[in-house]
Structure formats: structure tokens, C-alpha cells
Amino acid sequence: MVSQFKNLIQLLDFFKEEKTCTEYLAKSRWADNVPCCPHCGNVGAYITNRGYKCKAKECGKKFTVITGTIFENTKISLRYWFGAIYLATNHKKGISSLQLSRDLNVTQKTAWFILHRVREMLTDNAPEMLTGTVEVDETYVGGKKANKHQKVRKVLKEGRGMINKTPVIAMLQRDGKIVTAVTPVANGEVLKPFIYKHVAPGSTVFTDGFGAYNGLNKTYIHEIVRHDANEYVRVGGIHTNSIEGFWSQLKRGIIGIYHNVSPKHLHRYAHEFGYRYNTRKVLDVDRFEDAIKNADAKRLTYKRLIA
């Protein structure tokens, strides 16, 4: 829809006026630019001084182009929102709320809220089933025990290095998309249902030798790479290096950009990195336009965010 910009400066020049932003959002949301009521779904509305009024007699509610989107009730200019979405989707390792607050001249609290709304918007609630060759792996996100306060370290139990870290599982289709999920624990009872949900039966699944993946051969062609035996690539391209690369990018982003991510919000950060991976082959402007199309019905309220 817009191909006039290749960087943030050009984007902000294009969206100079709020009217330009609302017109762009309307074209992105509504087919043939015909208003669709966010309350009842009826296509067609009367134009009012402040927006639209649904033509359906049983509804008749008023709305604007931002009603039912992540921008609803915002006091921030759409121009700033668009700038934030462009930065969040095109910085390979993400952007911190402190940096965004400086870039947009808003408070850190506002920038933090904006970024979480954007991450919620980027979440794919109905991803396509993965097929073909799929790499599956889990990782653990969290600070080192040695860096925790003495009072916290005192109550931590000794054990695997993964204890007190948050497990994240991912399924990556070769030359395709990735699906991520944060889990309470990493065992077969928890991990395998995620795999069954997102990977089509009969696919070829590559994993490491973690025991939680035992039994996948009943549903898939299951190939194992024995990392504990210093085996990382087997004949025939059997490896989990692609998904390991994704983990590397996720963790470098958390360590280098965000520094600390709470388990409560980790799933949104994982979805953010997953979205950028899934759109890695498109231009920045196309990624921005795709993100804007996800603005409907994914509004994250501040009350729910901090609950």
C-alpha cells in the first residue's frame, strides 16, 4: 500500500498528518475502504462529525477507525504509534522501552506499554500447521543464580542449571516459519502436546536427545542428534542448527537490548522474535504493513498487562 519509504525518517515524513495515518489505517482495515462496524461486523456506516455510525438498526453504535484496534483510547498520535511499530518490527534484536522513549519523546512507562501492545499484536493466535522437515528444541531463559540477591539464592534448590529458569519450546519448519510457546516445565507431558498441535502428522522431526521427546516416532519420522555425544550434524542434513540460531538471536536480544525479561511477559518477547523470523524475507516496509494489518481485536489493556 505504501512503498515510499525505506527508513524511519521517510516513514515519519510520509505520515506527517494524523489524517494521513487514519486514512492509511482505514485502507488497511476495511476492504474497498468501506467501514465495517467493530461492534457487530456489519459492513457500511454513516459518516458523522467524529467518525461513523453503524447502519445496522439492531446496532447503531458509533465508532472510529481506531475502535477495536490496539490504538483504541490512545492519547498518543498514530504517527508515533506507526514509528514505534516500524522500529519494533525492523530492529533485528528489538528495541528497549528506554530507547523508544527517547526516540518518540514519551515517558519510559508509555514506551513500555506501547511495545507490549505491539508484541501482543504480533502474536499469531492461529498459526498454520508446520510440515516437511521440522526442528524442535527447548531453551531456558533467566538470570544466573550467581547474579541473584543472596536472599533469593538461599531459597533456590540445587540441581540442573535450568532450575529457576523459564522453559521456551519452539518448532521451526525448514525454509518456513517458527512457532514458540512458553511452558511451565519442560517434560514430555507438556512439550509433546505443543508439538502435536503445531506439527502435522507424518512430518520429519529433528530433536536433540532430551528424553521429553521420546515417543515422537509414533506420529512423526523422528531423527535424533546426540549433542551429549558431541554429535551436531548427521548425514542427510540432520541437525537442529537452524533453531539454535533462533535461540541465539532471542537470547542476545534479551541480554543486549532488554537486559531482563520477567517470566510473566516472556511469551510476548518470544512472539516478537518469532514474528521477525517469520517475515525475515520481506522488505521492512512490507513487514510494517503486515504488522498494521494485525492491529484488529488485539488490544492489550494496561490493567491486564500488569495484573
Q: What is the pLDDT, as a whole number, of residue 232? A: 82
Q: What is the pLDDT, as a whole number, of residue 231? A: 84
* pLDDT above 60 for 233: yes
- Give the pLDDT band (50/70/90) at residue 234: confident
| Fold (CATH) for 133-263 | Nucleotidyltransferase; domain 5 (3.30.420)
Per-residue pLDDT tens for 49-97? Answer: 999 999 999 999 999 999 999 999 999 999 999 999 999 999 999 999 9
Mean of pLDDT values over 135-141: 96
pLDDT cut 90: percent of the chain above it: 82
Per-residue pLDDT tens for 112-126? Answer: 999 999 999 999 988
Mean of pLDDT values over 219-228: 93
Assign 3-class secondary structure to the chain.
Answer: CCCCCCCHHHHHHHCCCHHHHHHHHHHHHCHHHCCECCCCCCECEEEECCEEEECCCCCCCEECCCCCECCCCCCCCHHHHHHHHHHHHHCCCCCCHHHHHHHHCCCHHHHHHHHHHHHHHHCCCCCCCECCEEEEEEEEECCCHHHCCHHHHHHCCCCCCCCCCEEEEEEEECCCCEEEEECCCCCHHHHHHHHHHHECCCCEEEEECCHHHCCHHHCCEEEEECHHHCCCEECCCEECHHHHHHHHHHHHHHHHHHCCCCCCCHHHHHHHHHHHHHCCCCCHHHHHHHHHHCCECCCCCHHHHHC
On average, the pLDDT of the chain sits at 91
> What residues pair up with 63 in beta bridges, in sequence order?
52
- Any idea which of 4-18, 66-80, 95-109, 123-137 has the lowest mean pLDDT? 4-18
Per-residue pLDDT tens for 263-278? Answer: 999 999 999 999 999 9
- Any idea which of 81-85, 186-190, 228-232 has the lowest mean pLDDT? 228-232
Q: What is the pLDDT, as a whole number, of residue 161? A: 44
